[in-house]
Structure 1
Amino acid sequence: MILTSVLQGLPFADRLQIDELEKLSALAEVINFHDGDVITEQFSTSDKYFLLLEGTVAYQLNVGDQRGALEVGKSKDKWTPIGWSGFREPYRYATTGIAVGKTKVIAWKNKELRQLFNEFPKIGLHVLSSSLLLSTNLLSNAREAWMRGAVAVSANDFQHKNSYTSFQDKGPQQSYLEFLRQSSFFNPFADWHLAKLSKISVTNKYEAGTILLSKDQKADKFMILKSGKVALNFITNDKKIFTSDILQETGQVILWSAASFDAVPNAMELVVLEPIEVVELNRIDLLVLYEEFPHLGMMFMYRLLWLLGSALKAIRAQVITQTFDREFLTIQTMIEQAGAQISVCSDLYKIPVFLSEKVTQGEAFDLIDLLSEKGDATEKNLAHLFRKITMPLRREYLFMEGLKQMTHHVIKAGENKSSRELRNECAQLFERAVSYVDIKINGLENIPKDAGNIFIYNHLLNHPYYTLPNNFQITLDSHFISMLLYKYYKDSGLRVVRIGKGPEYGHQDYYNKLGHLGVFTQDSDTKNQSPEEKRMLRNAFFEEAGNKLKEGTNLILSPEGTSRETQQSPVDFKPGAFLIANHSNIDPLIVPVAIAFFDKRISKTQLGVVVKKPFRLSEVLDKNKPFKDELRAFLTRYSKQYRSYVQEAIALAEN
């Protein structure tokens, strides 16, 4: 009776009779845990289901690879369900639950609880519905953790013609019963369940642009997709939109919260991308059915928990990816979680191996898409989640493929092609590659109308991930500026590049073919040159650079002479770019371009570019004072000022 009295505080207690509460109470026990005690253990058989009475529970995911566990959420609200994954296959705990401080719970043996639900489905309906409602905060927490580290991805990223997205045939017209039967959501439902649901089903169509559900709106219709596409968007408090998924598979549930007995709060937006046809069931009609057939209602709650678990698994997997920067590790963890549900002969086991190497990632994406269409039920479900997880990596893969094609095009170009023509083709190929990259740009209005300018930029290190198979690294920042100039002037300009050392002949051949201006630096092979030879080469370089400016050609170079990470950029400027301007005798415009995060992986960040107002040397140096002294003072002053430009680019990328 004491436990029955406690259970009367349950959120759904007023929906049950006292004898039904007593049946729940008879199977329950109170358990006290101390700080650090394990309540549930990931992958273990879920033998117990818990409700939190007092204290806090932290949830951890073991991500393998000797990296320990990652905390993915906490619960401290009374009546929070713990271990509800035991209500769905494979009946194993999805996370490790750890007591934080003194923690008290009510516990039931899962086997006994499920037997009780089968005998008294009304009890099962309300226990499961309450579990669903009180667990949605875990999804919100996971989503917020993901968005904090995610790049805002638009629906267009999911729909790109090369994004490996698979499309399903709409197929012939079906009866409602046949249609529901082929949806994976309704797999466990009995035929009489589906027959009852068919009678309250209707078909509707919605045009592109229709908002099916807004943030904070409660769904009043349960929908199953027949054809078309819907974007699932998460909107942050500062109005950033993250497209988490494109829903487009026949039989996919797109408004599941309407079927919950307890109205579930909503933190997302569903927008129709392409005209859709759906099967709809009104929430009111479902609630009436639940009242008449509680077993049907209980089955719905089981399946909604299955959907919630799948959504949690997908979001948490993306958090793991952000944390450890290794997608294949995330997918390996998800495969381990599925455990015995996967056949030992499944091709799913190949996917983490293919993903672990850049040269085989394309095979991984093809295999994921194949299994999402033609695999068994478990393979399809996991492959669909893998498609979400790998979306940023797919864009990065396509970017890398673009870099490889660009490099190959330059290296294999015939002798009959002019360097100018090849440079412009290179810029166009880079533009294709960079179309997969999220770049924010401010200040384009500062690009001069006429050519013949010097574009300077802070030079960033290349991320080692972008080393091509032949160990060649494309300088992304300078290629980007060349591409930008091509878009404005139909000429990509000339870059001033370091003449490499002997072992770097591949690097040198690439830039020689493009006809860029080579300059000797302290990192070049100059040990066999006399001081006079070095002076002659320097003067010849200044003359050539000046002539190019006079001809109306843009020059691109970094005043630093070296590369750094974004947070260290720029280092003190060297005088080279400004000596070119001075030697040209035409006082050209100097256009500062500040860049951020070109040293990072594009799947993990946004890039920022800020073009500042151009200036001439005559505007910043006093002609009445010695040129060298004036230039030295200007470089000291301007290097510090340029750091503020880089901070602008950082802020642009991060906001």
Structure 2
Amino acid sequence: MTLTATLHDLPFADRLSEKELEQLSALATIITFNDGEVITEQFATSENYYVLLSGGVAYQLNVGDQRGALEVGKSIEQWTPIGWSGFREPYRYATTGLAVGTTEVISWNNKELRQLFDEYPQIGMHVLSSSLLLSTNLLSNARESWMQGAVAVSTSSFEAKNSYTSFQDKGPQQTVMDFFRQSSFFNPFADWHLAKLSEISTTKRYNAGMKLLTKGQVSDKFMVLKSGKVALNYITNNDEVYTSDILQETGQVIMWSAASFDPIPNRMELVVLEPIEVLEINRIDLLVLYAEFPHLGMLFMYRLLWLLGSALKAIRAQVITQTFDREFLTIQTMIEQAGAQISVCSELYKIPVLLSEKVTQGEAFDLIDSLSDHGDPTEQNLANLFRKITMPLRREFLFLEGLKHMTNHVITAKGHKSSKDLRNECAQLFERAVSYVDIKIDGLENLPSSTGNIFIYNHLLNHPYYTLPNNFQITLDSHFISMLLYKFYKDSGMRVVRIGKGPEYGHQDYYNKLGHLGVFTQDSDTANQTVEEKRALRNKFFDEAGEKLKEGTNLILSPEGTSRETQQSPVEFKPGAFMIANHSGVDPLIVPIAIAFFDKRISKTKLGVVIKKPFRLSDVLEGKRPFKEELRAFLSRYSKQYRSYVEEAIALAEK
């Protein structure tokens, strides 16, 4: 029995033909859950997608250990989508959904539904858009929870503290197509999609202090940031301003709701902190494009759900940190419970304050140790307990101190020291730092016995916690691989690193001293170079890289050209590493290294590294078609295959 009559009541049903509704209903079934029964289970493969008919659903996040689960949302609204995270990679449920009372849902097999969308994108666009609209309340709920533990901040407090660079200093001019390609939001879009979007895009500039969006305003523009800074603020009913995020990453979508087919209610404001340049598309132009190309419209809805999921993940992470900050919360509670026994002059009261900032954590640990040895009996007893509680934080602190020492050693090195010696010393110092980290490694037997190889890896984001006091971020994954090669070959090899922009001189000086191979990318200062000059630089780079391989130097680089979180890694590979192999003329071994959780706090997780069997380019390309054509096809396959390597690293870390 089909459910066409029931589906006639769906919010978007009037946009679909009778035939389209019948196709959607043919795949649907009605399921009843009793109170408390699991509808979706966090991290489980998202086999089904549900829509709420009656009853309710409560969403929970399991935060591990003995801390149980945290409720992050609840809905009793009919047509609420449940399990929509199955529409985006890695196709797993983001939360556990529990039935509230006797609950009736419409269920679709997720794989069958996505296949239907591919064949009839008009259906997909409206189902996904409706899911987006009816799920935005989850983001509002999460922000409300976060706000309860946050400190209200005025946007004006940011505006007076910055001096700004002119737009001319923002880097090379790009075509709109090139800009789209570097934005993670547009990764799945085909070139013809981007070409169509380019035709309706304009570049706009807005001055500091301007409000791009106010609370309650329906957005009529889709915006992607090129340069500058924007504050994303939550406004309470009492007009308190809570800055939820500072948006400043090139290619970041800063205003997305206008791209939804269904208008999205807005509870935020967007304020320009630093003069910005954005790529802007009018909502009406997008809707016209969706009507002409529903497949593009469907893809946009998929990506908007991806954005919503990422925003939910980020804000819920802050809520979990606030709710279950075990070390800090436990120490604070124990001090409060023992308050009557502790002198009002005791230095114990300083410990939670010192622990709350990473630059003063060392003082907190010293104070704990001192009170453990020399305090009065109450102080000694509590300090001994605190010493045990803070062991994960102590390891993390020592790791961060090791990174500082390594960085300072490189920056202050005298000019007479060779780059090779400095690279090897850097690897040894990193080894000392990483000795405090729990890392599992598999596949060491796959390391080639001789040098002159290309080592590739999936590039992971750095956790913001490991930003050094001078705002310098050490790329942990590439430094780890250099250390690994030093331990095996007594030579840490050479990394291929992006040549930075002018303002990134600290980054550039660090890598210049280490003598790594610099490569110009879209993020380098190449605006004043001609096409011929860029081609000459590229050829010079390939020649230098080829010579290093012939000399027996190991090269280390990520084929992605960008970094991601573990669950999103890797993105589609670019050809650079394989072009080096081809240009060298020696057909070197290419050694794949998959890594997991280098983007997380080491006090909260274990890291995984898997080394796979090496191969040569001649092993994977037949030479029957033009080289670039064969390489493109190979990279498309291999990027997907590499994801399975990353999953091996994840499984290894989680054992």
Matches within 5 A, 1:294-443: 294-326=294-326, 376-379=562-565
Alignment correspondent of 1:283: 283
C-alpha distance 199-311 of structure 1, shift in aligned 2 (>3 A): same
Paired residues in the alignment total 365
Question: 2:46 touches 2:93 (CA, 8 Å); kept in 1?
Answer: yes
Deviation at 1:22, TM superposition (A): 0.4
Alignment correspondent of 2:49: 49
Give the Cα separation in 2 of the matches to 1:287 and 1:266: 19
Alignment correspondent of 2:73: 73
Alignment correspondent of 1:597: none
Deviation at 1:275, TM superposition (A): 1.2
Question: 2:89 touches 2:568 (CA, 8 Å); kept in 1?
Answer: no
Matches within 5 A, 1:235-634: 235-326=235-326, 376-379=562-565
Alignment correspondent of 2:198: 198
C-alpha distance 39-243 of structure 1, shift in aligned 2 (>3 A): same
C-alpha distance 253-350 of structure 1, shift in aligned 2 (>3 A): closer
Deviations 1:401-456 (A, max 9, x none): xxxxxxxxxxxxxxxxxxxxxxxxxxxxxxxxxxxxxxxxxxxxxxxxxxxxxxxx
The one-letter code sitting in structure 1 at the alignment partner of 2:116 is L
Alignment correspondent of 1:551: none
Question: 2:2 touches 2:22 (CA, 8 Å); kept in 1?
Answer: no
C-alpha distance 147-364 of structure 1, shift in aligned 2 (>3 A): farther
C-alpha distance 199-217 of structure 1, shift in aligned 2 (>3 A): same
Alignment correspondent of 1:467: none
TM-score of the aligned structures, taking structure 2 as reference length: 0.51
Deviation at 1:222, TM superposition (A): 0.5
Give the Cα separation in 2 of the matches to 1:153 and 1:326: 25
Matches within 5 A, 1:211-230: 211-230=211-230
Give the Cα separation in 2 of the matches to 1:66 and 1:363: 35
DSSP 3-state at the match of 2:564? helix
Deviation at 1:379, TM superposition (A): 3.2
C-alpha distance 363-276 of structure 1, shift in aligned 2 (>3 A): closer
DSSP 3-state at the match of 2:21? helix
> Is 1:7 equivalent to 2:193 in the alignment?
no
C-alpha distance 187-348 of structure 1, shift in aligned 2 (>3 A): closer
DSSP 3-state at the match of 1:52? strand
DSSP 3-state at the match of 2:3? helix
Give the Cα separation in 2 of the matches to 1:217 and 1:74: 25
Question: Tell me, which stretches of 5 or more residues in structure 1 are unaligned?
Answer: 333-342, 391-655
Question: 1:155 touches 1:246 (CA, 8 Å); kept in 2?
Answer: no
Alignment correspondent of 2:59: 59
Give the Cα separation in 2 of the matches to 1:168 and 1:128: 40
Give the Cα separation in 2 of the matches to 1:251 and 1:216: 26
Deviation at 1:158, TM superposition (A): 6.9
C-alpha distance 377-21 of structure 1, shift in aligned 2 (>3 A): farther
DSSP 3-state at the match of 1:130? helix
The one-letter code sitting in structure 1 at the alignment partner of 2:262 is D
DSSP 3-state at the match of 2:286? helix
Question: 1:41 touches 1:96 (CA, 8 Å); kept in 2?
Answer: yes
DSSP 3-state at the match of 1:271? strand
C-alpha distance 327-286 of structure 1, shift in aligned 2 (>3 A): farther
Deviation at 1:346, TM superposition (A): 6.6
Give the Cα separation in 1 of the matches to 2:472 and 2:279: 34
Question: 1:351 touches 1:367 (CA, 8 Å); kept in 2?
Answer: no
Alignment correspondent of 1:627: none
Deviation at 1:208, TM superposition (A): 1.1
Deviation at 1:381, TM superposition (A): 9.7
DSSP 3-state at the match of 2:261? coil
Alignment correspondent of 2:209: 209
Give the Cα separation in 2 of the matches to 1:153 and 1:95: 30
Alignment correspondent of 1:147: 147
C-alpha distance 351-52 of structure 1, shift in aligned 2 (>3 A): same
C-alpha distance 108-19 of structure 1, shift in aligned 2 (>3 A): same
DSSP 3-state at the match of 1:172? coil
DSSP 3-state at the match of 2:565? helix
DSSP 3-state at the match of 2:100? strand
CA RMSD across the alignment: 3.7
Deviation at 1:365, TM superposition (A): 7.4
Give the Cα separation in 2 of the matches to 1:246 and 1:107: 38
C-alpha distance 249-350 of structure 1, shift in aligned 2 (>3 A): closer
C-alpha distance 382-190 of structure 1, shift in aligned 2 (>3 A): closer
Deviation at 1:176, TM superposition (A): 1.2
Question: 1:351 touches 1:364 (CA, 8 Å); kept in 2?
Answer: no
TM-score of the aligned structures, taking structure 1 as reference length: 0.51
Deviation at 1:204, TM superposition (A): 1.0
Give the Cα separation in 1 of the matches to 2:311 and 2:282: 23
Give the Cα separation in 1 of the matches to 2:258 and 2:189: 18
Deviation at 1:350, TM superposition (A): 8.3
Question: Tell me, which stretches of 5 or more residues in structure 2 are unaligned?
Answer: 330-391, 393-455, 477-503, 508-522, 525-560, 570-596, 602-655
Give the share of equivalent positions with the same residue, in percent: 71
The one-letter code sitting in structure 1 at the alignment partner of 2:297 is G
C-alpha distance 327-218 of structure 1, shift in aligned 2 (>3 A): farther
Deviation at 1:327, TM superposition (A): 9.4
Give the Cα separation in 2 of the matches to 1:364 and 1:71: 36
Deviation at 1:100, TM superposition (A): 1.4
> Is 1:175 equivalent to 2:361 in the alignment?
no
Question: 2:224 touches 2:279 (CA, 8 Å); kept in 1?
Answer: yes
C-alpha distance 345-294 of structure 1, shift in aligned 2 (>3 A): closer
DSSP 3-state at the match of 1:113? helix
Deviation at 1:181, TM superposition (A): 1.4
Give the Cα separation in 2 of the matches to 1:235 and 1:312: 18
The one-letter code sitting in structure 2 at the alignment partner of 1:318 is Q
C-alpha distance 364-389 of structure 1, shift in aligned 2 (>3 A): farther
Alignment correspondent of 2:116: 116
Deviation at 1:347, TM superposition (A): 6.5
Give the Cα separation in 2 of the matches to 1:158 and 1:328: 28
Alignment correspondent of 1:138: 138
Question: 2:128 touches 2:301 (CA, 8 Å); kept in 1?
Answer: yes
DSSP 3-state at the match of 1:227? strand
Deviations 1:340-366 (A, max 9, x none): xxx9987769889x79xxxx9999976
Deviation at 1:276, TM superposition (A): 1.1
Give the Cα separation in 1 of the matches to 2:462 and 2:253: 27
The one-letter code sitting in structure 2 at the alignment partner of 1:257 is S
Give the Cα separation in 1 of the matches to 2:321 and 2:211: 30
Deviation at 1:297, TM superposition (A): 0.2
Deviation at 1:246, TM superposition (A): 1.2
Give the Cα separation in 1 of the matches to 2:319 and 2:168: 29
The one-letter code sitting in structure 2 at the alignment partner of 1:311 is A
